Amino acid sequence: MTGPDSTKRPHVVVVGGGFGGLAAVRKLRKADVDITLIDRHTYNTFQPLLYQVATASLNPGDITWFLRAVRAKQDNVRFVKGTVVAMDHGQQSILLDGNITVRYDYLVIAVGVTANFFGIEGAAEYSMPLYRRSQALALRDRIFANLEDAAINGQNRDLRVVVVGGGATGVETAGALAEMRNLDLPTTYPELDRDRVHITLVEMAPHVLGPFDPRLRDYARKSLEKRGVDLRLGTAVKEVRPDGVLVESNGTQEFLEAGIVVWASGVTAHPMVGEWGLPQGRGGRIEVDGHLRVRGFRNVFAIGDIAVNPDHPLPQLAQPALQGGRYVARVINNDVEGKADPPPFKYRDKGTMATIGRASAIAEVKGLPKLKGFIAWAIWVAVHIASLLDNRNRFATMTNLSVKFLLWRSHSAIVGETPYVIAHEPKVLDAEASPVAKKAAKKSAAKKAAKSAAKKAAPDERRNSR
The span from the CA of 161 to the CA of 239, in Å, is 15
Angle at 266 between CA 261 and CA 267, to 5 degrees: 115
Residues 59, 388: contact at Cβ < 8 Å?
no
Do the beta carbons of residue 164 and residue 264 sit within 8 Å?
yes
For helices 214-226 and 168-179, the axis angle rounded to 10 degrees is 30
CA distance 222 to 300: 46
244 strand-pairing partners? 241, 257
Question: Of 121, 125, 172, 257, which residue is the catalytic one?
Answer: 172
- Burial of 158 from C-beta contacts in 10 A (0-12 / 13-18 / 19+): middle
Measured between alpha carbons, how far is residue 425 from residues 148, 153, 154, 166, 466 in Å?
Answer: 16, 8, 11, 39, 65
Task: Output the CA–CA distances (angstroms, integers) from residue 263 to 318, 330, 390, in the order listed.
Answer: 20, 37, 29
Pairing mode, strands 11-15 and 106-109: parallel
Residue 364 a catalytic site member: no
State how far the Cα of 244 lies from the Cα of 261, in Å rounded to an integer.
Answer: 7
CB-CB neighbours of 189 under 10 Å:
19
**Angle ∠(410,416,421) on CA atoms, nearest 5:** 100
Contact 350, 386 (CB under 8 A): no
441 CB-near residues (< 8 Å, 6+ apart) = none
Residues 327 and 303: their CA atoms lie apart, in Å, by 10
Q: Could you tell me the maximum CA-CA distance found in the chain, to the nearest angstrom? A: 108
Active site residues per annotation: 172
